[in-house]
Structure 1
Amino acid sequence: MCYQLSSIFHLGGCVTMALFNEVITLPLNRRKRTYLKKLAVFTTIWLVIALYTGRGGLIHVRNDGPRHIHVGVGPSHSDEAEGHSGASSGAWESRLKGPLEADDPRVVQFLRDRHLQAPGSRPYNLDAYQNRLRYESMDSWRFLHKAILELFKDSPPGFFIEAGALDGQYLSNTLHLEKEYGWTGLLIEPNPSSYNELLKKNRHCWSSNTCFALTPYPKEMVLEMVDTREQAATSQAMWVIRGGSFLQEGARTAQKYQAKTHLSTYAVVQCFPFLTYWKALNLTRVSRPLSLDVEGAEEQILNTIPWDAVDIRTLILEHYGSSKEPDEIFVDSVEQRGYSLYDYNIDKDFIGDYIFVKKEST
């Protein structure tokens, strides 16, 4: 595909003369200097094009395939005499910043190849957490642990997904299922330092240093990483505070308060929709459970899940409310997706842990 450039030369000459005529009528001041700069730049560009196209007066455009377009100056392609502009074979990856379809085969393969760590087989390397708050004594963890045992202790090993996995052990909703009952699953933790600690635990499940997207397409997002200040009195609660890290687009009042109270740093993280993980792991059913501890982003994530295309039997959701009573609007929004509230626990800071089970199909 080629285009003749003779008209461009005529147009270029007209523009150059117009600029020149304008310049000579002006006094030597800032405005005249600006016009002179424009005249010099335009004339240079025009002359370069004229010199290159003098060999044939053509600009050619060539389609080298679905992922590469070649543009060159001159009647035909020559690596020695022209510049090139085109999209490389990997240019689609830039669209991972958003938007690109969640089930696009390239996105699914990219997640599978670049962002999924396969289950390990080495012995567990769990932490005794000396000089740390004992999470086993926390009301929220005890409530969830008891409910999880009630729901799953007699079930065959299944597949879990836990988002907001921290270091893979502290406050984990899934470690007991994996270690004692032979389950496997996927741990998602976007905080790089927390994820590095997670890898050291040798969990026998998949893991990913990414995050659930708040959109139905993959997107890069800013993670505000909350941590203790050096030698602060709160250092005993390091993992509790780190668990408050949040995606800025999903932040609510409680998260913004945490950021002001503690030390914050930032990272740009790659996020994928729920469906992309589902496809990358070739799942047919997450029997129990999907656990979301995502600091205010749970509703946005739930809105991205194609409920008619996946089968999730149990939801464990952390949700910030405004009182010790259940958030009825939140509960109704989940129940409308075909779930029943199984149990809940709300602490003194109005942070609620909700467990939903899928209604039996009739």
Structure 2
Amino acid sequence: MMVTSRNLVAIFGLCSVSILFVFIIVVLQGEGLVIEQIVRASQRLTKKEDTVKENKIVAIPTKWEKFISASEVRRIKQGNEFIPTNDPVLIEYIRKQIAGPSEEPLFLFNPEQEIDQSQVGQSKRVDEILHHKTRGFYVECGAAAGERDSNTLFFDGARNWTGLLIEPDPEAYDSMLRRNRHAYSINSCLSPDNQTKMMLFEVAGERGGLANQDRAGPGGKGAANSAIQCFPIDAVLRALDVKHIDYFSLDVEGLEVAILKTFPWGTVTVDVWTVEFRTFKDSKMHPGLTRERYDAIKEVFDATGLYEVNGTLPAAVPGGIPSMGGLDVVYIRKGFV
């Protein structure tokens, strides 16, 4: 049988179609295997992700891992358990609440006033004791708005100091920030029992103070209560790594003695203290309670063995007891004198 050229073309075409068909089948089978592998891999990944989600609800990016968890924040705020003042989470939490010093010039609401606006001459007395020292460090607890009656404003403006301003009243604190004080600041109160907790604060301007406490100040009628975070003074100072303070002004309307008892006397030195001791009852100054608080403050300082009294401000009435007419008592560290 003779094979014509036409038959050869037909046979060649049929073979090509058969080969192509076989190739397509092989490719489809291969793709099926690939698809099956992809599906299986996806199932394994999904299962792995589900396992991760069971162990960790939210995967926090590595760069964000330094956030303090909600559980830790709740533990700090509630204060139901004692948290050591050197607890690293507590210290980091406090550090995040502190505002840094302003880099702008002081902005005073009453620029015509003298830079020394301390209530009864605290700045002048301390400046004399410290021999007009420059570049010192202060702490003022009860800093109010940072201008009127401020015991530390003078050192910002005239002696190039920095420091720490502690003020629990949120309105006063916001006003303080507008003054561009050259100091760290925190909107909190100091804990009277060395325990981190939330406490009620009577918002009453300069007469504000912790509610339901033995108030030394006259208080404010109809003052609104606000929940304020309170920290131990030791933890606050640790947050700034403070080991030495040139001047500490303590004016917290009645809790001075309690706070002094929690102070870390063994790890932080203070050269000069001014502590308010004048006491009110029913909005009137009470001589008997004033003397009791003066004596209680003296007892704390005497117990440290580190200080000697430098009188009161204003000065005591001639021939009278130290507390008569006084507002603050001044203490100086013995090693400094």
TM-score by length of 2: 0.68
Query: 1:119 corresponds to which residue?
Result: 101
Q: Is the CA contact 1:136–1:142 (under 8 Å) kept in the aligned structure 2?
A: no
Residues of 2 paired with 1:206 and 1:136: CA distance? 19
Task: Name the SS of the counterpart of 1:314 in structure 2.
Answer: strand
Q: Is the CA contact 1:313–1:358 (under 8 Å) kept in the aligned structure 2?
A: yes
Task: Name the SS of the counterpart of 2:237 in structure 1.
Answer: helix
Residue 178 of structure 2 is aligned with which of 200, 224, 228? 200
Query: 1:330 corresponds to which residue?
Result: 297
Is 1:275 the counterpart of 2:275? The answer is: no
Structure with max Cα Rg: 2
Number of equivalent positions = 256
Residues of 2 paired with 1:136 and 1:121: CA distance? 18
Is 1:243 the counterpart of 2:206? The answer is: yes
Query: CA offset at residue 330 of structure 1?
Result: 2.8
Residue 101 of structure 1 is aligned with which of 78, 84, 92? 84
Residues of 1 paired with 2:104 and 2:247: CA distance? 25
Alpha carbons of structure 1 residues 243 and 110: separation in structure 2 relative to 1, 3 Å: same
Q: Is the CA contact 1:223–1:245 (under 8 Å) kept in the aligned structure 2?
A: yes
What is the root-mean-square deviation in Å for CA atoms of aligned residues?
A: 3.2
**What one-letter code is carried by the residue in structure 2 that aligns with 1:285?**
H
TM-score by length of 1: 0.63
Residue 213 of structure 1 is aligned with which of 176, 186, 191? 191
Alpha carbons of structure 1 residues 164 and 281: separation in structure 2 relative to 1, 3 Å: same
**What one-letter code is carried by the residue in structure 2 that aligns with 1:341?**
V
Alpha carbons of structure 1 residues 78 and 243: separation in structure 2 relative to 1, 3 Å: closer
Query: 1:60 corresponds to which residue?
Result: none
Query: 1:360 corresponds to which residue?
Result: 335
Query: CA offset at residue 94 of structure 1?
Result: 1.4
Query: CA offset at residue 217 of structure 1?
Result: 2.5
Is 1:225 the counterpart of 2:192? The answer is: no
Greater Cα shift, 146-155 or 164-173: 146-155
Residue 266 of structure 1 is aligned with which of 216, 225, 238? 225
* Structure 2: gaps of 5 or more residues: 1-50, 55-67, 280-285, 317-322
Query: Residues 56-205 of structure 1: matches in 2 within 5 Å?
Result: 89-96=69-76, 97-98=78-79, 99-113=82-96, 115-128=97-110, 141-205=119-183
Q: Is the CA contact 1:223–1:268 (under 8 Å) kept in the aligned structure 2?
A: yes
Query: 1:295 corresponds to which residue?
Result: 253
Task: Name the SS of the counterpart of 1:276 in structure 2.
Answer: helix
Residues of 2 paired with 1:185 and 1:219: CA distance? 24
Identity value in percent = 27
Query: CA offset at residue 328 of structure 1?
Result: 3.0
Residues of 1 paired with 2:302 and 2:92: CA distance? 33
